[in-house]
Amino acid sequence: MNPPVSAVLWVLLYLLLVAAPLLVLLIGPVPPGAGFWWDFSMALGFAGMAMMGVQFALTARLRRASAPFGIDIIYYFHRYAAVIALGLLLAHFAVLRIDYAEALGAIDPRRAPWHMTAGRVALALFAVVIITSLWRKPLGIEYDRWRMWHALLATVAFLAAAGHIAGVGYYTVAPWKRVLWTAYTLFWVLLIAYVRLAKPWAMRRRPWRVAEVRAERGNAWTLALAPEGHVGLAFAPGQFAWLTLRASPYHVKEHPFSFSSSAENGARIEFTIKELGDFTRTIKTVQPGEVAYLDGPYGVFSIDRHPHAPGFVFIAGGVGIAPIMSMLRSAADRGERRPLTLVYANNRWDDVIFREELEQLRERLDLKLVHVLAEPPEDWAGERGYVDDALLARYLPPEQRTFECFLCGPRPMTDAVQRALTALGVPLRRVHFELFEMV
């Protein structure tokens, strides 16, 4: 199926899953109404719960479902959807609080019925889950810890909310509706089990061994992995995988990294990782022979998604070169003849990752290579400063503005380059980038 069609179908499926509970409640014998605002509030509660349920599917990394969009955008959506769902649940509560305060009963859990306490707990936990995600960094929460608590609290909140609905029990009193609602709830619980148990189990059965850890320029390290007892994985250049090192896949201590090696060799794959945080600082201490686990490949940031493009433009900042290097190496291995341009921004010349290999790739590819340095040496004759529209205009002649553009670098840079490309008349649909670092 071609990507746009399957994308539309997946979006429709999503909308159906979100709408399903309300539709089911409306079918068949409906209990008598109790006033517009009361029933509206109940509907908001069910709708919020349905959206929260589907949240588990959005982050289950279902490869088929994410393929047309790119998993990064699914996570991005997960974020928006969470805020909308919380808004619905808060509105559910607010309507009752304003119009039917007596019906909420005591707040004190010792006096309140358990299902009302469950509802309050669910609402509070959902709020905590979302606040700690939107503002993880300002709150100073460490990533691994955040991930564990995020999954745990979200699950507890969901189960508490399911308990709240079962306890109130008004709409689900008809046996078949109760069965349907239970099945719907159970589906998400099973999905959690799949993600937390079945998937790590499958990863354990396909281990990788560290073949080499190689120092690169700019405090970066290349980690080479070889498959252990399996054939490896086939990926498209530019894609990424979640990497687990020195931990069991069940511990969910994994981090996403782009492949930097050629996609033509799935039996030895490489990641190029810059020392930026707690985990990335440990890469240099990894020894050959250590076990690694991979969940991937994911992502739509790839030249392979655009087989008919007349050429490609790559704009990289620092270690953002990793996925682009994978695309260049793959292109060279495939004998690519189309014109390629790489605008590569760094602070210092000595920190330019893959500096030498990029020179060599020029012999195998029709590659225009533009280095841009923010802190150039005194004798530097090349481009200096930042990548802006004036610089891009110099290297992108108008006929090349129909090329597909791939951006990878720090967020301020990709934002600025996007604006610059737009100013040059490059349509947004030709500008590709991954959305990393959402939390």
Partner 1 sequence: MRELWVRIVAGITGALVLLLALAFAGLQSPPTPVAAPAMPAAALPPALVGAGHAVYEAQGCAMCHAIAGEGNPRYPLDGVGGRRDAAELRDWILATGAAEEALPARAARMKQDYRALAGSELDALVAYMKSLTDRPPGEGER
The footprint of partner 1 (CB under 8 A) covers: 11, 14-15, 18-19, 22-23, 25-26, 30, 32-40, 42-44, 47, 50-51, 69-70, 73, 76-77, 80-81, 84, 87-88, 100, 102-106, 111, 113, 116, 169-170, 173, 428-429, 431, 435
Q: Least Å distance between CB 85 and partner 1?
A: 9
Three-state SS string across the chain, please? CCHHHHHHHHHHHHHHHHHHHHHHHHCCCCCCCCCHHHHHHHHHHHHHHHHHHHHHHHCCCCHHHHCCCCHHHHHHHHHHHHHHHHHHHHHHHHHHHHHCHHHHCCCCCCCCCHHHHHHHHHHHHHHHHHHHHHCCCCCCCCHHHHHHHHHHHHHHHHHHHHHHHHHHCCCCCCHHHHHHHHHHHHHHHHHHHHHHHHHHHHHHCCCEEEEEEEEECCCEEEEEEEECCCCCCCCCCCCEEEEEECCCHHHCCEEEEEECCCCCCCCCEEEEEECCCCCHHHHHHCCCCCEEEEEEEECCCCHHHCCCCCCEEEEEEHHHHHHHHHHHHHHHHCCCCCCEEEEEEECCHHHCCCHHHHHHHHHHCCEEEEEEECCCCCCCCCEECCCCHHHHHHHCCHHHHHCEEEEECCHHHHHHHHHHHHHCCCCHHHEEECCCCCC
Q: Least Å distance between CB 25 and partner 1?
A: 7
Question: Which one, 44 or 129, has the nearer CB to partner 1?
Answer: 44
Question: Which one, 86 or 220, has the nearer CB to partner 1?
Answer: 86
Q: Least Å distance between CB 50 and partner 1?
A: 8
Dihedral through CA 313, CA 318, CA 323, CA 327, nearest 10? Answer: 40
Q: Least Å distance between CB 378 and partner 1?
A: 41
Question: Which one, 44 or 321, has the nearer CB to partner 1?
Answer: 44
Q: Least Å distance between CB 232 and partner 1?
A: 29
Q: Least Å distance between CB 76 and partner 1?
A: 5
The Cα 181–Cα 201 span in angstroms is 29
The Cα 294–Cα 239 span in angstroms is 13
Question: Which one, 100 or 184, has the nearer CB to partner 1?
Answer: 100
Q: Least Å distance between CB 59 and partner 1?
A: 15
Q: From residue 310, how far is each of 20, 314, 333, 342 by CA, in Å?
A: 44, 14, 19, 15
Question: Which one, 20 or 286, has the nearer CB to partner 1?
Answer: 20
Question: Which one, 104 or 226, has the nearer CB to partner 1?
Answer: 104
Question: Which one, 10 or 221, has the nearer CB to partner 1?
Answer: 10
Question: Which one, 42 or 252, has the nearer CB to partner 1?
Answer: 42
Question: Which one, 54 or 123, has the nearer CB to partner 1?
Answer: 54
Question: Which one, 3 or 385, has the nearer CB to partner 1?
Answer: 3
Q: Least Å distance between CB 239 and partner 1?
A: 15
